[in-house]
Structure formats: C-alpha cells, structure tokens
Amino acid sequence: MPTEPDHYEVLQISPNAEPGVILAAYRRLAQTYHPDVNPDPRAPERMRRMNRALEILSDPEKRAEYDRRRLRRLAVQHMAEQPRVPYGTLYGEEQAIGWRARIARLSLGWLAIAGGLGVLVAALAMILLRGTSDSGGGSPVVGSRTAAQSPGAAVAGASSAPSLSTTPPPGGSGTFSNGTWLVGEEIAPGMWRAIRSRTCSWKRLASIEGTSDTVAGNGSSLTVEIRPTDAAFWSEGCGWWTQILEAPSAAPGDSFGPGTWLVNKEVEPGLWQNSDSSEGCRWARLSSLDGAPSAVSATGSGTSIITIEIIASDRAFDSWGCGTWTRVGD
C-alpha cells in the first residue's frame, strides 16, 4: 500500500497553519509549478499532489482525520527507527533493566573494584561511628525514608527510572518519562496523565516478543489508562507521566483549558464554548482512554468559536489550541 504524502510538506507549511495560510501557499506554489507555466515533465504530478493537499487541508473534517493518521504514522516511523532494545531508554541514559541483569553484565574487574570501594566505605563509617560514641554523642540517629526514597516511589529526575513496584506508591506519586517501560515491573497499571505537549504520542503494547510490537492501543491524549494485561507502554514527546491527576478547575462546572479531562469527575456534561480558535482549535470526545479504535466518539477542529456538547457517557474530553472552555448550557 503506497504511503500517504505529508500534505503539509507538499504545500511547505506548518501543521498549525490557518486556512488563509494554506490557500496562500497553494497559490504561490501554483504560480511556479502549474504545467501551463512550467515545462518540467514532473510538474503535472507536483500539481496533482498540491491539489490533493489543498482538498484535504482546507476541509476541517478531512484535515482532522488526516492529522490523526499523520500522527500515528510518525509514531510508527519513530518506533521503526529506534534500535531494538528490550525495554527502552530514558533521555539517552542506560537501559531500564533490572539490577540483577546489570550486575551480571559487569566484568570481574569492575566487580572487584566495586567490592573494594564497598569495604573502604564501610571502614570509614565504622570509624565515624566509633568517634561519635567516644565523644559521648550517643548512637547516631538514622532518619526515616522519605517518600522519594521509599521502594515504591520513582524520583522525577532526568536519570531516574520508574517505580519497580507493581503497586502505585501512596498518593499516586509514581512518575516515568518517554521511552518503553514494562507494565507491572517498571510502571504500575492504572490512570496516568502527561505534561501538556502537542506532539505527545503513545502506545500500549500487548507483547514485546518477536521482531515487531503488538499494539493494543495508541493515541495522543494526555490521560491514558494502562491495563494490567499490557506488556509494556511506549511514549514520545509527552514529558513526564504521573498518577497525580490534578483537576483543571476547582469544580467540574468551571471553565477549563487544554488537556485531556475526565467527564463527570473533572468536567461536567453539557454545552461548552471555547474562547479562542486562532491557533486552530482541535477537540475530541473519548469513550475510553485505552487508545482502542473505538475510543474516539466525536472529533472536530476549526478557527472560529466552537460550541460542543459533552455527554454523560463520555469517558474524557481532549482539546488543544481552543483557549478556555466555558459551560453555556445543559
């Protein structure tokens, strides 16, 4: 099956371009590549691609559907370009593998050095403890573990790995970043939310065995439900994921901004109107957060003020570039 061209590249415009910019770019290129003025034998094919790009990008519904296909294609392409490793990497750091496997990969020389350093540290500790006891200071006080030091919590740092506990830490304090993580071993199943990003894309993987991944679900929403049956979870461009689901406003009926919010819990059903579509407002009503093919109930986009109805059976509502949504009716 032939690969669909990137219509934004064909017209040499940004994916966020407004309708007026799209039409102006088409007219500018047509003055150069129209067969009536360009004798190049490739001009007719170039013009055909430009016409198709204009047809898709000037229609809000066709453009929204194309943008979804394009995002999925870019995610798949990124996965294919990555080197095949068992788990994935964190900002270029070492693979997120278990400590037993890491020790097994060390040479005897490195193990001997590590053992010597351990003995030296233990000896220094004993000297310090003895000095404290001789000075009458009593036994040293051992501080309790903090939440970030406890076995179930992941540290939100550039070189930290996600929690190795299968149970989320108290208060949902677990975090992880972009990459590929094993569900149940490196990250816990459940509801996760990402830091806002327009380029976020993710996949729930049913298997990581063999030469290709088995995708159980994929999407670009910033809230996702990772299932206990998933083998792994991959994301790119999403920043940090957290299980602390902070509501977008003080009450579900209050105005809210961009993001992926839970209906009934964080956003009330009813009629909602946005405040600004100058960036190119895009929204979606989601029936689930697992990235299944039927997860999207309805979607749309536009550059004018939009009024949409969120219904009680929706699982979540996702939007960006729409400014602030305000409830205007039941």
Q: Same domain for 279 and 314?
A: yes
- Using 50, 70 and 90 to split pLDDT, how confident is the model at 195? confident
Average pLDDT, rounded, for the chain: 77
The last residue of a domain, from among 81, 111, 143? 81
For residue 137, being part of any structural domain is answered with no
The last residue of a domain, from among 246, 275, 300? 246
Q: Same domain for 271 and 325?
A: yes
Asked whether residue 70 carries a pLDDT value surpassing 80, the answer given is yes
Q: Same domain for 116 and 178?
A: yes
Domain count, the chain: 3
- Please state, in angstroms and rounded to a whole number, the distance separating the CA atoms of residues 18 and 279: 7
Q: Same domain for 320 and 224?
A: no
For residue 142, being part of any structural domain is answered with no
Q: Same domain for 203 and 216?
A: yes
Q: Same domain for 75 and 92?
A: no
Asked whether residue 79 carries a pLDDT value surpassing 90, the answer given is no
Q: Same domain for 91 and 240?
A: yes
Q: What angle do CA 171, 172, 175 make, to 5 degrees?
A: 140
Q: Same domain for 324 and 190?
A: no
pLDDT score for 267: 97
pLDDT score for 85: 40
For residue 252, being part of any structural domain is answered with no
8 A C-beta contact, residue 243 and residue 191: yes
Q: Give percent above pLDDT 90 in the chain.
A: 45
Residue whose entry in the numeric block shows the structure tokens 């830490």: 169
Asked whether residue 253 carries a pLDDT value surpassing 90, the answer given is yes
Q: Same domain for 194 and 235?
A: yes
Residues in the chain: 330
Q: Same domain for 180 and 155?
A: yes
Q: Same domain for 227 and 277?
A: no
- Using 50, 70 and 90 to split pLDDT, how confident is the model at 210? low
2: its two tokens: 């032939």
The total of other beta-carbon atoms located within 10 Å of residue 46's CB is 18
For residue 266, being part of any structural domain is answered with yes
What is the domain extent for residue 53?
7-81
Q: Which helix (H) or strand (E) element contains residue 50? A: helix 43-57
For residue 2, being part of any structural domain is answered with no
For residue 201, being part of any structural domain is answered with yes
For residue 222, being part of any structural domain is answered with yes
